[in-house]
């Protein structure tokens, strides 16, 4: 396994981060722990989760899987999504953050979180309040680094500016939506992060299994239960240009004698600013396939061929306010 600096920090993480959304939804405890331990044995030292993955179930299973080896693992979790029906059970307010960090620490069976990320921008809470609360957690020793997930570049830029102007710890990573069939982040977010020394750790780098050829446009079709019921993939992908990109990736994969999934992952790994794409896996063999991508060297012609069919997409992964309704 290879390791990279997490942006401008001194922290080194594996070039593949294990995404554990499935630990809280599709996998039982035994299989979750088995995949987690296999990942560690193969050199993965970066685990990504969120409090809302199974309403704490993913965090709980990670805590059990990493018991005894916690000090060797970088754990990233998130806060901000709904964790109940109460009016304060969602968002990035000081109240919600302080409440949820304690729950995450308990479930993860740890006294600190390596990377604490806001899951989305909270339109109801001033960013000053959010950053102040997060800064307190770093100074209190409960959190070591701060990160953020999908939002607009102008929002992330504002957060970085507010942190700097007020002497607060700033975000060191951005977990955004980025893959060969969704490249809108190249317009503003990726260049911003590269310029600011912020690590890019994209989610859905393999487009939710799209390149494995198991997803279809029609509900109920596909070789696996997940493929048959994955409505989110059908909503996000399957534009005409997406299919054209997939065809191009298949051609390049054949030349390299690799799978399309491996080529799609290699492309992300070799993209500017990328530190560690977050890869979800339900079986050890899924990770084995990904590990081989680290050694793949794509030529400029390979990259150009796979990128050529791409066409612009609407925003996928976060929402933006109507400018006409924004307060000045």
Domain boundaries, the chain: 3-325
CA 137/CA 116 separation, integer angstroms: 9
The CATH number of 3-325 is which of 3.40.50.300, 3.40.1190.10, 3.20.20.100, 3.40.50.150? Answer: 3.20.20.100
CB 309 within 8 A of CB 50: no
DSSP 250-297: HHHHHHHTS-HHHHHHHHHHTSTTB---EEE-SSHHHHHHHHGGGG--
pLDDT given for residue 229 in this prediction: 57
272 pLDDT more than 90: yes
User: Mean pLDDT across the chain, nearest whole number?
Assistant: 92
Active-site residue numbers? 53
Give the global pTM.
0.93
pLDDT given for residue 221 in this prediction: 54
The string of pLDDT tens digits covering residues 69-93 is 999 999 999 999 999 999 999 999 9
Q: How far apart are the first and last CA of the chain?
A: 49
Which are the contacts of 105, defined by CB distance < 8 A and separation ≥ 6? 111, 112, 113, 142
Residues, the chain, total? 328
Q: State mean pLDDT over 210-220.
A: 64
pLDDT given for residue 297 in this prediction: 95
pLDDT given for residue 118 in this prediction: 98
Burial of 186 by CB count in 10 Å (0-12 exposed, 13-18 middle, 19+ buried)?
middle
CA 312/CA 327 separation, integer angstroms: 29
């Amino acid at each position: 396994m290879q390791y990279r600096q997490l942006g401008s920090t001194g922290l080194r993480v594996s070039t593949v981060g294990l995404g554990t959304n499935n630990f809280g939804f599709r996998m039982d405890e035994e299989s979750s722990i088995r995949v987690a331990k296999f990942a560690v044995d193969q050199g993965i030292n970066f685990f990504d989760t969120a409090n809302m993955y199974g309403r704490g179930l993913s965090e709980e299973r990670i805590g059990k899987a990493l018991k005894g080896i916690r000090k060797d693992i970088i754990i990233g979790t998130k806060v901000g999504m709904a964790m109940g029906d109460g009016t304060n059970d969602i968002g990035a307010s000081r109240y919600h953050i302080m409440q949820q960090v304690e729950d995450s620490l308990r479930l993860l069976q740890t006294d600190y979180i390596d990377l604490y990320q806001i899951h989305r921008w909270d339109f109801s809470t001033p960013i000053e309040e959010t950053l102040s609360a997060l800064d307190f957690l770093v100074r209190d020793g409960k959190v070591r680094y701060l990160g953020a997930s999908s939002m607009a570049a102008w929002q992330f830029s504002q957060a970085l500016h507010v942190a700097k102007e007020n002497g607060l710890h700033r975000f060191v990573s951005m977990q955004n939506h980025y893959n060969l069939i969704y490249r809108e982040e190249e317009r503003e977010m990726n260049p911003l992060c590269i310029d600011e020394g912020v690590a890019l750790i994209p989610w859905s780098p393999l487009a939710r299994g799209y390149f494995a050829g198991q997803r279809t446009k029609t509900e109920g079709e596909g070789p696996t239960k997940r493929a048959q019921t994955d409505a989110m993939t059908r909503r996000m992908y399957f534009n005409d240009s997406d299919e054209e990109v997939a065809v191009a990736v298949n051609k390049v994969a054949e030349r390299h004698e690799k799978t399309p999934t491996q080529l799609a992952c290699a492309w992300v790994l070799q993209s500017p600013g990328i530190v560690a794409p977050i890869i979800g896996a339900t079986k050890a063999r899924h990770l084995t396939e990904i590990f081989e991508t680290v050694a793949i060297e794509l030529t400029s012609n390979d990259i150009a061929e796979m990128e050529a069919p791409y066409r612009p997409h609407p925003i996928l992964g976060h929402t933006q306010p109507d400018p006409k309704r924004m307060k000045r």
